[in-house]
Each structure stands twice: as C-alpha cells, then as structure tokens.
Amino acid sequence: MNSNKVLASLCYFSIFFAGFIFPIVVYFVTDHPEVKHHAKKALLSHLIPAATILLFIVTAIFTGWTGGGSDVSVLVGSGLVWLGFIAAGIVNLVVVIWNIIKGIQVLK
C-alpha cells in the first residue's frame, strides 16, 4: 500500500485521535500535492465541529441561558439553546461519518 495514501487517510481518521493538529503537521511536512490536498480538506472538516461548538456557546450566552428576564424569554432562549445543541450534535455526527468515508475512499 502506498504510504502517501495511508498518510492522507490518516488525516481524515485523525478526527478520533489528534483533532486538527495532525492535518496541520502533515500539510507543512509533506511535499506530495495529493497528500497536501487531503490534509487541507481534513483540516477544514475538523474545524467544523469546533465552529459549531463555539456557535452553540455564543447562542447559549446571548439567549439568556444564564437566567434573568421574563419567563417567556427564558423559555424561548433555552429552547433555542437546546435546538442549537441538537443541530450541533447532528452536524458533528455527519462530519465524523464524512471523515470516515473519505478516509476509506482515499485508501482504495
């Protein structure tokens, strides 16, 4: 098996063990253009869960998760936070599945 293919697929599989650090290291260390391409795509797909979690935290802060205000605004705010939590979970699950599929495709 070609070591470049293994390295490129490990960039996708690193969502389980090294987050976005492994694709960054591979991108700057390797000279092979295909591996660099896959490392960049993997890095972008690894940043999506971080962005959704950050968006979830910002939504929680600005919708009144901490309390205060009327009962209706707290209820609506907490509903939006839970909706954002569920949406972030779904997006993160899709990203993990996508990374697994791409990692397998690169190995073929």
DSSP per residue, 38-86: HHHHHHHHHHHHHHHHHHHHHHHHHTTTT--S-HHHHHHHHHHHHHHHH
Rounded (10°) CA dihedral 16, 20, 25, 27: 110
- Number of structural domains the chain divides into: 1
pTM for the full predicted model: 0.76
Q: How confident is the model at residue 99 (pLDDT cuts 50, 70, 90)?
A: very high
Other Cβ atoms less than 10 A from the Cβ of 31: the count is 6
Range of the domain at 52: 3-107
Three-class DSSP category at 95: helix
Predicted pLDDT at 105: 93
